[in-house]
Amino acid sequence: MAVNRTPVLKRCRSLGMDPIYLGIDKKSNRQSQRAGKKQSEYALQLREKQKAKFIYGVLEKPFRNYYDRADRMKGMTGENLMIMLESRLDNVVFRMGFARTRKEARQIVDHKHVLVNGKCVNIPSYLVKAGDQIEIREKSKGSERYKGILEVTGGRLVPEWIDVDQENLKGTVKELPAREAIDVPVNEMLIVNRNINHLSGRKILNGSLKVLDINIHPLGYQSATGYFDDIFISL
215 or 94, higher pLDDT: 94
Mean predicted confidence (pLDDT) in 86-113 = 97
Identify the structural domains of the chain with CATH numbers, from first to last.
8-85+182-198 (1.10.1050.10), 88-176 (3.10.290.10), 201-234 (no CATH)
Mean predicted confidence (pLDDT) in 137-161 = 94
Assess contact for 79 and 67: CB atoms under 8 A. Answer: no
- pLDDT-derived band at 222 (thresholds 50, 70, 90) equals very low
- Output the average pLDDT for the chain: 81
pLDDT of residue 26: 67
pLDDT of residue 131: 98
For the ranges 15-29, 44-58, 100-114, 117-131, the lowest mean pLDDT is seen at 15-29
Mean predicted confidence (pLDDT) in 84-104 = 97
* Partners of residue 213 on adjacent β-strands: 202, 225
Residue 41 is inside which H or E element, if any?
A: helix 41-56
E runs forming strands in the chain: 114-116, 119-120, 133-136, 162-165, 170-173, 202-204, 209-216, 222-228, 231-234
- pLDDT-derived band at 33 (thresholds 50, 70, 90) equals low
Q: Is 188 helix (H, G, I), strand (E, B) or coil?
A: helix
Residue 36 has pLDDT above 70, yes or no: no
The percent of residues above 70 in pLDDT, for the chain, comes to 74
pLDDT of residue 12: 77
Q: Is 17 helix (H, G, I), strand (E, B) or coil?
A: coil
Q: How many residues does the chain have?
A: 235
pLDDT of residue 4: 61
Assess contact for 122 and 137: CB atoms under 8 A. Answer: no
pLDDT of residue 34: 54
